[in-house]
Structure 1
Amino acid sequence: MVHDCSSEGCLSMNRYEEDMAVTGLLAPRLAYFAAVARHEHVTRAAHELGVPQSTLSRAMVRLEQDLGVALFARKGRTVALTTAGRTFLSSAERALAEIARAAESVQLDADPALGKVAFGFLHTLGSETVPGLIRAFRVDHPRVRFSLVQNYGEAMLEKLRAGELDLCLTSPVPDAPDLVARRLDEQRLRLVVPDDHRLAGRKRIRLAEAADETFVTLEAGYGLRRITDDLCAEAGFTPRVAFEGEEAETLRGLVAAGLGVALLPPPAVARPGVVELTVTAPRAVREIGVAWLDGHPDTRPVAEFKRFLLSRRGRLIPEL
């Protein structure tokens, strides 16, 4: 493949590659340099670092050669920083401190008792299901920390692939070669209608009876929207969609305002202005599953929380 390097983007990539090459040369030597600068003596620095003096001396010579700048003025084994050396030391110490902080952070996140789990879940599971799960998990793991992300299913799967999440609860249960997914439970969906609707006096309904209704739904790309479309197709019609939203409780508000009907999971708290009907046909449920990136190594806290979630199969979602 031939690349045209005349563009600004290609020049930027070349500079990036050059910077990375220099960084690769310098990074292993920063601690050596800082120790020599601190002691102003090669032998004492070598003793602190636990390396042969000759190794340390050669490393400093190579560092100066790579930079093309003299960092030390030498008087036998005693050294003093040059002006360039003092400038370089300031940045080297900041870089080493940042590396130390990063190492401490990732070690803390992996700590069995104090570690962190990056956990994603659907908005509709955020009011009761997820808080209940975390509360139950922390009975035996009281100091494990959580980074919580609410989003729709496809967005969370992309965060899994990007390494931003360890686990996510989503629906439908994904089927992708790069992911591992396990079904945990299912949640009944109800047809939500305004409380003055012609169907509001009913307890149960076949979805086909709502074929002439105007629907409010989540936007395309949301798992619940796909389930709604599939259930309506199974009932023999295509829903006439008047409004699309991003959150289930917003849709309930639109229904209460008389702007349509919706297929939704039950709310944590009953909302005035709507009536929720049991759908008898087709079977209106959505499967809830947990997903993670295939082959991605787990820290101890993530592995423990994953085992906990899998142990909750069939009792993840409270019946409301």
Structure 2
Amino acid sequence: MTYGTQAEPADQRLVAALVPHLALLSALRETRNITRAAELLGIPQPTVSRRLAALANVVGAPLTEPDGRGIRLTRVGTILADTAGQALPPVEAGARQVREEIEPDSGHVVLGFLHLLGRALVPSLLRGFRANHPGVRFSLVQGSRQNILDRLTSGELDVALVAPMPEGLESIAIAEQDLLLSVPAGHRLAERRRVRFAELAKEQFVMLEHGYGIRQITDALCAEAGFEPKVVFEGQESDTVRGLVAAGFGVAVLPRFGATAPAGVAEIPLSPKSSRTIGLCWRPGDHFTPAVRAFRDYVRAQA
């Protein structure tokens, strides 16, 4: 902390002396009685008296004065007690958050995942985990693969579900997901049982933006087949991409929609088969809180 006047170092020393006694000052403000303040804090009454005397010595003025059978705060004591009363609640809230953060039964997990995994995989994992850990809170963060990995490596996320699996991070492979070709229902390939990727060289593509794992895979499939895709639309949501396919704007590579294809779309397996590995990943050497470790271990057990 930088100070611009000669009085400020004295203020800093006073703050350093007052901080350990915020609870005491706040209790005196509430009770106006040394004995009751000591009971409220769970410390002996002589200890309270000694601390008040020490604080008064640091301040240079008494903080309390007799008032019948009790005490009352002096003007200086009132200023400090009022300040303590304002400062203590945020400190108590922070202490409560720290306790909840590290307790396995009431901790907090910040989980990042791809948009496409929010339909079934993430709800399934959370439902199973919370059956035995109902008090654990989750903050859920969705984004593209690159966005999620950037936020994970920066420390914003505890763990993340992504595909394809990244390099340079600790990870657990938990599922293999087939990728299919989505075409408009009336498309020339709609009735085919399988499609070779080279057959798509003249097709128009609807894709997710760069940074998404599916885009990375699609670009690689096109390169392996020897052509550069004609991209007519790029989006951030798989449902938008499917909607554009249904409207006849192009074809797309996406995971299976569900038990049946969405209206206006035909889903066709690729030949050879194409898939992606979904994994849970985290930073190497991370020291997990108990709640994050419990979730990581639960996911590992489901793999």
Report the TM range for the smaller structure's normalisation: 0.7 to 0.9
Shift in Å, 1:185? 2.2
Deviates more, 1:149-158 or 1:268-277: 149-158
Q: Which amino acid aligns with 1:274?
A: V
1:287-306 equivalences in 2 (<5 Å): 287-306=277-296
**CA offset digits 1:137-166 (Å, max 9, x no partner):** 233334433332222222223333454432
**CA 1:305/1:240 → structure 2, altered by over 3 Å: closer, same or farther?**
same
Counterpart residue number, 1:165: 157
For residues 141 and 168 of structure 1, the distance between their equivalents in structure 2, rounded to whole angstroms, comes to 19
Is residue 2:115 matched to residue 1:123? yes
Which of 170, 187, 193 in structure 2 is aligned with 1:180? Answer: 170
- Deviation of 1:191 after TM superposition, in Å, equals 1.2
Distance 1:54 1:83, change over 3 A: closer
1:38-73 per-residue CA deviation (whole Å, 9 max, x = no partner) reads: 5657787678564845455324433x37xxxx5736
**Correspondence for 1:137:** 129
Between 152-161 and 245-254, report the one with greater CA deviation: 152-161
Question: CA–CA distance in 2 between the matches of 1:24 and 1:239?
Answer: 65
**Is 1:274 aligned to 2:274, yes or no?**
no
Letter in 2 for 1:208: A
Whole-Å Cα distance in 2 between the matches of residues 212 and 84 of structure 1?
83
Aligned residue number for residue 210 of structure 2? 220
2:57 to 48, 55, 61: 61
2:204–2:250 contact (8 Å) kept in structure 1:
yes
C-alpha separation in 2, matches of 1:57 and 1:242:
78
Q: Deviations over 1:183-236 (max 9, x none)?
A: 222211111111111111212111111011111111112222112111211121
Deviation at 1:244, TM superposition (A): 0.7
Give the match for residue 194 of structure 2: 204
TM-score by length of 2: 0.81
Aligned counterpart, 1:7 = none
In structure 1, stretches of 5+ residues that fail to align are 1-12, 314-320
Name the amino acid aligned to 2:63: F
Of 138, 159, 169 in structure 2, the residue corresponding to residue 146 of structure 1 is 138
Distance 1:185 1:91, change over 3 A: same
Q: What is the letter of the counterpart of residue 29 of structure 1?
A: H
1:230 matched to which residue of 2?
Answer: 220
CA contact (8 A) 2:26 2:82 kept: no
**Could you tell me whether the CA contact under 8 Å between 1:41 and 1:79 is conserved in 2?**
yes
Take 1:266 and 1:95, find their aligned partners in 2: how far apart are those partners?
A: 54
**Counterpart contact for 1:71–1:83, Cα < 8 Å:** no
Kept in 2: contact 1:72–1:79 (CA 8 A): no
Corresponding residue for residue 256 of structure 1 = 246
Measure, in 2, the Cα distance between the counterparts of 1:71 and 1:256.
Answer: 80
Q: 1:199 to 1:274 in 2, by over 3 A?
A: same
Deviates more, 1:102-111 or 1:256-265: 102-111
2:148 to 156, 159, 173: 156
Distance in 1 of aligned mates of 2:170 and 2:153: 11
RMSD: 3.1
Residue equivalent to 1:30 = 22
Tell me how far 1:309 sits from its aligned partner. 0.8
**CA gap 1:213/1:180 in 2 versus in 1, 3 angstroms:** same
Q: Distance in 2 between matches of 1:37 and 1:113?
A: 35
The answer (yes or no) to whether the contact 1:46–1:56 under 8 Å persists in 2 is no
Does structure 1 residue 244 correspond to structure 2 residue 234?
yes
Task: Give yes or no for contact 1:203–1:278 (8 Å, CA) kept in 2.
Answer: yes
Residues matched between the structures, number:
289
The answer on whether the counterparts of 1:33 and 1:60 sit within 8 Å (CA) in structure 2 is no
TM-score (norm 1): 0.77
CA distance in 2 between partners of 1:160 and 1:60 (Å): 49
Shift of 1:171: 1.4
Evaluate the alpha carbon distance shift between residue 74 and residue 310 of structure 1 in structure 2; reply closer, same or farther with a 3 A threshold: same
Gap regions ≥5 residues in structure 2: none
Q: Percent identity?
A: 42
Amino acid at match of 1:293: R
SS at match of 1:201: coil
Query: Measured at CA, do residues 61 and 209 of structure 1 come closer, stay the same or move farther in structure 2, by a change above 3 Å?
Result: farther
Q: Which residue of 1 aligns with 2:184?
A: 194
Question: For residues 257 and 287 of structure 1, what CA distance do their matches in structure 2 show?
Answer: 30
